[in-house]
A and B are shown apart, each in its own frame.
Chain A
Amino acid sequence: MPTILETDVVVVGGGMAGAYAAIGASRQGSKVLLLSKGFLAKSGCSPMAAFLSVPPYYTPPDSEQSIFEDGVTGGASGIAGGSYIFLANQEALKDTFDKAPQILADLEAMGVYFRRDEEGKFVLLGSGFDKDGKVRKPRFSLAWNFGLTGKSIMDVLKGEIIKRGIPYKDEVRVTKVLTNGGAAVGVTAIDYSTGEFFVVRAKSVILATGSGVYLWRYTTASRECTGDGHMMALRAGAELTDIEFVTWHFADVAWPEAWRRLQMYPQPYPGSGFYPQWYDSKGNRFIKDVEIGSKEAQAMAVARSVVGGTVQKRGGYYASWRHVSEDELKEWFQNYYHLKKLGLDISLDMIECGMSSHSWHGGIRTNGKTETSVPGLYGAGGVAPNHYPRLHTALWGGKVAAIYASERAADVSLQDLDMVQVEDEEARVTGLLRTEPANGKSPTQVKRRIWDLFFDKMWYIKDAETMKKGLEELRSIRENDVPMMRASSKSRNSNQEWVDALDVIDMLDLGELLIMSSLRREESRGPFVRGDFPSTDDERWMKNLVIKLKDGKPEYRTEPVALTLMRPKGVVPS
């Protein structure tokens, strides 16, 4: 019989959404337990983020309305990199902007320092360029150094969690959302440093597991982001939406491979508004005409060159900072130290870059209260972005989920667990801790196959043919490799292969849904690019694509986008 812990609200995830949700729920008077697959504040994408979008601090002629509109239309690459043209949950987007001032003030009160100048004004970071190449519409801020924003905020949130005495557990991989009578009643998990399988009984479950972008070998997402939360929600009866919307970076470091998450930031950088220049391997300026363009235009220009064979998906083109002084870089740019470490002389050398999958606009389908269709189950942050998966989205999600999860916790009592579910899950999870067959494959090797398959077949530009090949390969991994998966040892001590085996199951399930959704959406829109359907088709596809399981099988349907606050030009109000 596994240990059963009891709490009001269980938060799954130790990134910005999870940490902020835990603090919020504790403030509401709930008893909270936070579980994190990596370490609290040291896992997920949050610690890597360079800057925070702060919509209320704009520079005229920008206005709250223009920023909101950019958010909906993907103008200036959306509010912060990546557009999701007209598919965003407008109410949630609006509320994110409305709540941002409160959230920022709260962060500052807890100890975050947002960079000021000597007059005490925020240093704002540009969101793009105007046609003369001047930095346009500064509306972002940074904690204090470009590149350390996420980390610094996470340190403060962790401090607040310690201050409030909120219990948290590191290196706990949650495996299932338990339900009873259709409502969420808890979760199962393994503490993989000890190998213990345990159960948490809770009145509300907040999933804050981040994006699922670690399906691709070259990605900016951290090691934990394998889509666990997406699949747990779906299996518990909730819905996913628009998971085919993946944004791509083109400016991440190609070598060393370990640094594939290090961005050379093709946008204006704080302080001066400098941005890198791009060269191909012959030393010619490359993508010069979109150097000051939107992120989509830039990614597309690089992708076209990949298709044309002049550069590769990973390499063959270079970022140059040679036009920026070393002092300037050192003052503002965390990555300065990384380049130094490689022995590169910034005034001489260029940095070879590559493309990588970055973030997901889609995820668990939630409403403006972060509620899923399962009572008691909430989705916050990168796992359920509603619009743009960024730090401010994660903070908004955490804040809102805390309120509604706590409200429910005050209303309902702890429900009974369905012990059959617990037993079945324990059997499934422990079943993956096996060393047979002897001639099998390690789960980590299988993971690598999935990463390669996605990078190859589900790249930025895709078409039906490549995607169908991808689907075939994915199914063959499921049929042939999964039964052969075995760990090197049955030891329960920090058995990462065991965690990898659990991940593989979720990655394959989510990956299949992602390919199927991408096949269905017969258009291109913002970051979703199909070679065989290059234009945007508002008539057929200005719709959310929703997935739900019925008897264990996925069912797809489209839902009209709720154009409650803004409509595209030419669309007549109905």
Chain B
Amino acid sequence: MSRQPGGEGGDIHVTIYRFDPSTDAAPRYEQYSAPRTKYMRIIDVLEYLTEVKGIGIAYRSSCGIKKCGTCGVMANGVPKLACYEAAQDGMTIEPLRNFRVIRDLVTDRAPYQEKIDSITPFLVRDSQPGKFPEDLRHSQMIERNRFDQCITCLLCVAACPIMESNPSFVGPAAATRAAALLEDVRDAGAEARLDTLADEFGLWRCHMIGECTEVCPAHAEPALAIQRLRRRSVKRTLRAMVRRVGGGHRP
């Protein structure tokens, strides 16, 4: 028989960041409470407050099950998906760090989308596949699939200590998408992608502390992605040097 699901009964108290830049002089923190339900997630609290209490807290969500990646918030200072993380009594809920606040928990994703756009976020083929299905084995795709688990929730970007001081750093989420494509045996886009990634402000800014992987809810391992990209970038530079030396064109 199943063990009893935990944590029902009583109230749960949370503190929520409220701020509308068009009407408020400064952000404020407000306290709310909600009756606790089984396995309650942060989003269950937000839904209760907006749907039952009619409080106009702005937050995003679409799927509720860790697929759309739009519900990221800071929970007690740590980036979490509101639909995935358990609500805790006394929790403070704030908008994701490293993003501009549009209102309350809603942040502006558009500038980061531009970074994703910059890494050539699509499969580049030398030539179109001659047949369908093309020849592929599952074992060839495992590395690609690991990074393809990314749901672009941008929690890793909020956790990244480098993003703040180096706004030109491409960041872990774009790196993860890039890694999924670079690890795809069908892809021929490495050159263009590594050009963007390996520039002075790109990959080498990362301190490899691994906060990103720690907060990733999708097991996509953004820190590993960055490591892979670095390795490829080094290899590419070395190859280019060897080519240049071998060709005798270097003065």
Could you tell me which A residues sit within 8 Å of B by CB distance? 38-39, 42-44, 47-48, 101, 104-105, 108-111, 113-120, 122-123, 144-145, 148, 150-152, 155-156, 158-160, 162-163, 170, 193, 222-224, 255-262, 279, 283, 318, 337-338, 341-343, 348-352, 441-442, 444-445, 447-448, 487-489, 491-497
Contacts and interface: CB of A to CB of B under 8 A. Distances in A.
Contact of A341 (B47, B84, B186): B84
A352 B62 contact: no
Contacts of A442: 50, 54-56
A105 B128 CA distance: 11
Contact of A222 (B51, B63, B181): B63
Contacts of B204: none
B234 interface: no
Contacts of A447: 51
Interface stretch (B134-142, B157-165, B166-174, B239-247): B134-142
B20 interface: yes
Given A113-B144, A144-B141, A150-B67, A493 B83 contact: no
A444 B129 CA distance: 49
Contacts of A120: 133, 135-137
Given A120-B136, A156-B122, A489-B20, A162 B67 contact: no
A495 B60 CA distance: 11
Contacts of B59: 496
Contact of A494 (B54, B102, B129, B145): B102
A223 B62 contact: yes
A426 B89 CA distance: 43
Given A445-B54, A448-B51, A488-B55, 18 more contacts: A42-B62, A48-B63, A109-B125, A111-B184, A111-B187, A114-B133, A116-B133, A122-B133, A255-B38, A256-B38, A257-B41, A258-B47, A259-B65, A260-B64, A350-B1, A444-B54, A491-B20, A492-B22
B46 to A, nearest CB: 9
28 contacts: A42-B68, A44-B62, A47-B62, A48-B67, A108-B129, A110-B122, A111-B123, A118-B139, A144-B148, A150-B67, A152-B148, A159-B123, A160-B122, A170-B110, A193-B102, A222-B68, A256-B40, A257-B41, A257-B44, A258-B44, A259-B83, A261-B65, A338-B66, A442-B56, A488-B56, A492-B22, A493-B102, A496-B59
Contact of B129 (A109, A151, A222): A109
Given A38-B70, A152-B148, A108 B138 contact: no
- Of the listed residues A113, A117, A448, A497, the one surrounded by the most CB atoms of chain B closer than 10 A to its CB is A113
Contacts of A343: 6
Interface string B65-104: 1111110000000000001100000000000000000111
Interface of B: 1-3, 5-6, 20-23, 37-41, 43-44, 47, 50-56, 58-59, 61-70, 83-84, 102-104, 106, 108-110, 117, 121-123, 125, 128-129, 132-139, 141, 144-145, 148-149, 151-152, 177, 181, 184, 186-187, 219
Contacts of B129: 105, 108-109
B37 A448 contact: no
Contacts of A338: 65-66, 84
A121 to B, nearest CB: 8
A42 B136 contact: no
Nearest to B125: A109
Given A48-B67, A257-B37, A261-B64, A108 B132 contact: yes
A465 B129 CA distance: 59
A38 B59 CA distance: 12
Contacts of B20: 489, 491, 493
B159 to A, nearest CB: 18
A162 B103 CA distance: 27
A255 B64 contact: no
A495 B59 CA distance: 10
B114 to A, nearest CB: 10
B63 A261 contact: yes
B47 A349 contact: no
A283 B2 CA distance: 8
B213 to A, nearest CB: 15
Contact of B138 (A117, A156, A159): A117
B64 A259 contact: yes
A258 B83 contact: yes
B243 to A, nearest CB: 29
Nearest to B129: A109
A38 B133 contact: no
A118 B141 CA distance: 11
A224 B148 CA distance: 25
A262 B65 CA distance: 6
Given A108-B133, A222-B62, A448-B52, A113 B68 contact: no
Contact of B70 (A42, A256, A489): A42
Nearest to A101: B132
A47 B138 CA distance: 22
Nearest to B149: A148
A123 B141 CA distance: 14
A283 B138 contact: no
Contacts of A113: 136, 141, 144-145, 148, 184
Contact of A495 (B39, B58, B133, B144): B58
A493 B67 contact: no
- Of the listed residues B3, B40, B63, B137, the one surrounded by the most CB atoms of chain A closer than 10 A to its CB is B63
A162 B122 contact: yes
A492 B37 CA distance: 33
A492 B103 CA distance: 10
Contacts of B38: 255-256
A155 B83 CA distance: 21
Nearest to A440: B54
Nearest to A445: B54
Given A222-B63, A337-B219, A489-B23, A156 B56 contact: no
B77 to A, nearest CB: 20
Contacts of A494: 58, 102-104, 106
- Of the listed residues A160, A258, A338, A352, the one surrounded by the most CB atoms of chain B closer than 10 A to its CB is A258
4 pairs of A and B residues whose beta carbons are closest in the complex: A488-B56, A111-B123, A159-B122, A442-B54
Contacts of A101: 132
A473 B67 CA distance: 34
Contact of B37 (A151, A160, A256, A497): A256
A162 B124 CA distance: 13
Contacts of B136: 113, 116, 120
Contact of A256 (B39, B56, B62, B135): B39
Contact of A445 (B40, B51, B138): B51
Contacts of B125: 109
Contacts of A170: 109-110
Contact of B56 (A123, A352, A487): A487
- Of the listed residues A155, A338, A349, A350, the one surrounded by the most CB atoms of chain B closer than 10 A to its CB is A155
Nearest to A498: B56
Contacts of A193: 102, 106, 108
B230 to A, nearest CB: 23
Nearest to B2: A350
- Of the listed residues B6, B129, B138, the one surrounded by the most CB atoms of chain A closer than 10 A to its CB is B138
Contacts of B53: 445
A123 to B, nearest CB: 8
